[in-house]
Amino acid sequence: MERHYTTTPFGRRPMSLGMMATQVAAKAVDKDATVHKWHVFQHVREARDAIGATDRALAILNALLSFHPDTAFNGDSDLVVFPSNEQLISRANGMSPATLRRHLAVLVQCGLVIRRDSPNGKRFARKGPSGEIEQAYGFDLAPIVARAEEFKELAEIVAAERRALKLARERITLCRRDIVKMIATGLDEAIPADWRRFQRAYEDIAGRIPRTAVRQVLDALAGELEALWFEVQNTLETFVNSQNKNANESHFERHIQNSKPDSKNEIESRLGKEKEASGNVAETDNVRHLPKRELPLGIVLDACPEILALAKGGEIRTWRDLMAAAATGRACLGISPSAYQEACEVMGEDHAAVAIAAIQQRVEHISSPGGYLRSLTTRARDGKFSVWPMIMALLRAKLDTSRLSGRGVSSASAGLETAGKVVQTENGLAISDALQRSLGKTHRQPPGRG
């Protein structure tokens, strides 16, 4: 006997075109179609917002699927299950009867199940003489087979949207972090730019970021933040490139200075001379006999111990520490920032710091430290100045003072030995011939004066 399935719900429940469309799709399913019911349920769970299902409705759908003994659903299978409300409540984690009825209606409205109501609204199955089910009244799970591909596509779309939303949030987070820290760097380093405008623009965009928003809104805000990020980043990169260019030019100029074999005059005279004390540096060339290597930090500190008082913690271990102490010394000496910046551009930051340390060491003999530094900068630009002779002059003065006071060269020899200008003799340390000549000495120091 041919089965007859009702198409309208029992009692006062109304019929809708959506229910009819679901039944039409269930009838049109390919008889050879086979799906894994739990795989389809997973797709339905991932796409529940697009489908319109609630979490409670999915709990009931999970219970309904568990009442069917087969895992693989076929297009020609009888997929009607008929559990009682008590059985559904038990498998749906004990929800109330009213909640059960409400969310069963949601499953029907979403087209996940079809009602096959009996004449009296009860759920049951009628078996034939052979024990097979001839007629069943309850919930038809045929849409699980008929709409399996649709549910899979919806799940993929939802997953892609979720990934896009996550990426939009990550873009916003990264841009916000970078912009805040780059603006702080620009303000701290006093880089010339309108940082207050950048800060106001950032605050305006950040103030429009909602707690929860659709991806399109977040994408638009992320685009605004990225445009601001690019502008701030470009400002910093332009400044850094200009500084690197100046440093490279200064480094190149120093190489030219160090390679001059025919300079007109001898090494720069002592810093205590009256002409230099007034800030009017003589137009001489002090780069005649320069070492081919960089000036060791130990020699600088041995020649200029006064700079240690300006260092943080009273210690200078690296060139960076010396440059930080020189920045403090520049302010203490009354040298303008522009004069020091010009010296850094022409000499390089390390040699400018050495010049500041030397000026600090002999500050009582220099009436205008700022004018003196500008004069040194002008000579360095013309290739007529290097910090090597300046430090050697300070060391020579220290050696002369130590010799007169009977203390020998012990305090200066450690730094000079680092530069390769002190030699070891049988009786102790002695100044090498090269250093004697570079310091203008006409006689050797007797061996044993350590």
Asked whether residue 30 is assigned to any structural domain, the reply reads: yes
pLDDT above 90 covers a percentage of the chain that reads: 23
> In whole angstroms, what separates CA 446 from the centre of its chain?
61
Shared-domain flag, residues 190 and 139:
no
Tokens of 128: 């034939």
Pick the last residue of a domain from 252, 284, 302.
252
User: Residue 284: which of 366, 195, 379 has the closest Cα?
Assistant: 379
Helix (H) or strand (E) holding 428: strand 428-431
Asked whether residue 155 is assigned to any structural domain, the reply reads: no
Asked whether residue 3 is assigned to any structural domain, the reply reads: no
Cβ proximity of 353 and 319 under 8 Å: yes
Whether the predicted pLDDT of 50 surpasses 50: yes
Shared-domain flag, residues 289 and 411:
yes
Whether the predicted pLDDT of 366 surpasses 60: yes
Q: Round to whole Å and give the CA distance between 275 and 277.
A: 5
What string of DSSP letters covers 43-103? HHHHTHHHHT--HHHHHHHHHHHHTSS-SEEETTS--EE---HHHHHHHTTT--HHHHHHH
Task: List, for residues 24-49, the tens digit of each pLDDT value.
Answer: 666 667 777 888 999 999 999 999 98
The pLDDT assigned to 7 comes to 66
Range of the domain at 400: 274-438
Asked whether residue 159 is assigned to any structural domain, the reply reads: no
Strands (E), 108-248: 114-116, 124-127, 133-140
Shared-domain flag, residues 223 and 333:
no
Q: Round to whole Å and give the CA distance between 184 and 190.
A: 10
Side-chain half-sphere of 377: how many Cα atoms within 13 Å? 21
Shared-domain flag, residues 121 and 222:
no
Residue, of 357 and 246, whose pLDDT is higher: 357
Pick the last residue of a domain from 252, 287, 309.
252
Asked whether residue 269 is assigned to any structural domain, the reply reads: no
Task: List, for residues 3-18, the tens digit of each pLDDT value.
Answer: 545 566 655 666 666 6
Asked whether residue 51 is assigned to any structural domain, the reply reads: yes
Cβ proximity of 70 and 179 under 8 Å: no
| pLDDT class of 277 with cuts at 50, 70, 90 | very low
Shared-domain flag, residues 290 and 229:
no
- List phi, psi (to 5°) of 129: -60, -30
Shared-domain flag, residues 430 and 293:
yes
- For range 323-348, the mean pLDDT: 89
- For range 184-193, the mean pLDDT: 87
Shared-domain flag, residues 421 and 329:
yes
Shared-domain flag, residues 335 and 433:
yes
Asked whether residue 11 is assigned to any structural domain, the reply reads: no
Shared-domain flag, residues 40 and 113:
yes
Shared-domain flag, residues 429 and 280:
yes
User: Residue 113: which of 157, 152, 67, 72 has the closest Cα?
Assistant: 67
The total number of structural domains that make up the chain: 3
- Write down how long the chain is: 450
Mean pLDDT of the chain: 76
The pLDDT assigned to 8 comes to 62
Pick the last residue of a domain from 220, 252, 284.
252
The residue behind tokens 């090494």 is: 267
Residue, of 444 and 53, whose pLDDT is higher: 53
Side-chain half-sphere of 105: how many Cα atoms within 13 Å? 12
Quote the pTM value: 0.46
Shared-domain flag, residues 141 and 172:
no
Asked whether residue 393 is assigned to any structural domain, the reply reads: yes
Shared-domain flag, residues 21 and 117:
yes
Give bridge partners of residue 196 from the DSSP assignment: none
Task: List, for residues 379-419, the tens digit of each pLDDT value.
Answer: 988 888 888 888 888 888 887 777 766 544 444 444 444 44
Task: Kindly report which listed range (170-174, 248-252, 255-259) carries the lowest average pLDDT score.
Answer: 255-259
